[in-house]
């Protein structure tokens, strides 16, 4: 079963705007990861945040983690048309596995 649930399911914004995607999960985790998938391609790892971290940055990406609420958010600032893709959160509950959510489809209009 999928643990991560992304919200919204789909998001359409104008180029230059910020995009925020949220992820909720159910059980305790070692880390939470965000991935990106372009249509018909494999997933690409974006960022990993450990359970003892609250915020992490990578370029235009900002990820927050609230373990008390079992939620995370991914913020993409100053979006570009090339950011159009599906974004997935994945939780590591332990045991060498990741559990992926259903994803958010982001469309950035130029």
Partner 1 sequence: SQTIHQWPATLVQPVGSPLSLECTVEGTSNPNLYWYRQAAGRGLQLLFYSVGIGQISSEVPQNLSASRPQDRQFILSSKKLLLSDSGFYLCAWSVLDGEQFFGPGTRLTVL
- Find how far residue 16's CA is from the centre of its chain: 19
* Strand pairing category for 31-37 and 71-76: unpaired
Question: Does residue number 2 form part of the binding site for partner 1 (CB under 8 A)?
Answer: yes
Least separation in angstroms between CB 2 and partner 1: 6
Instruction: Please give the Cα distance from 75 to 99 (Å, whole number).
Output: 21
Q: Which of 19, 32 has the CB closer to partner 1?
A: 32
Question: Does residue number 94 form part of the binding site for partner 1 (CB under 8 A)?
Answer: yes
Pick from 41, 54, 57, 109: which binds partner 1 (CB under 8 A)? 41
Short-list 93, 109, 2, 106, CA closest to 46:
106
Question: Does residue number 92 form part of the binding site for partner 1 (CB under 8 A)?
Answer: yes
């Amino acid at each position: 079963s999928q643990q991560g649930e992304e919200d919204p399911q789909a998001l359409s914004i104008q180029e230059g705007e910020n995009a925020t995607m949220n992820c909720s999960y159910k059980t305790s985790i070692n880390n939470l990861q965000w991935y990106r998938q372009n249509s018909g391609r494999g997933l690409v790892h974006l960022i990993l945040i450990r359970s003892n971290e609250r915020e992490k940055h990578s370029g235009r990406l900002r990820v927050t983690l609230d373990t008390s609420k079992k939620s995370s958010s991914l913020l993409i600032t100053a979006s570009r048309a090339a950011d159009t893709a599906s974004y997935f959160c994945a939780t590591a509950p332990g045991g060498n596995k990741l559990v992926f959510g259903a994803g958010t489809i982001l469309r950035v209009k130029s």
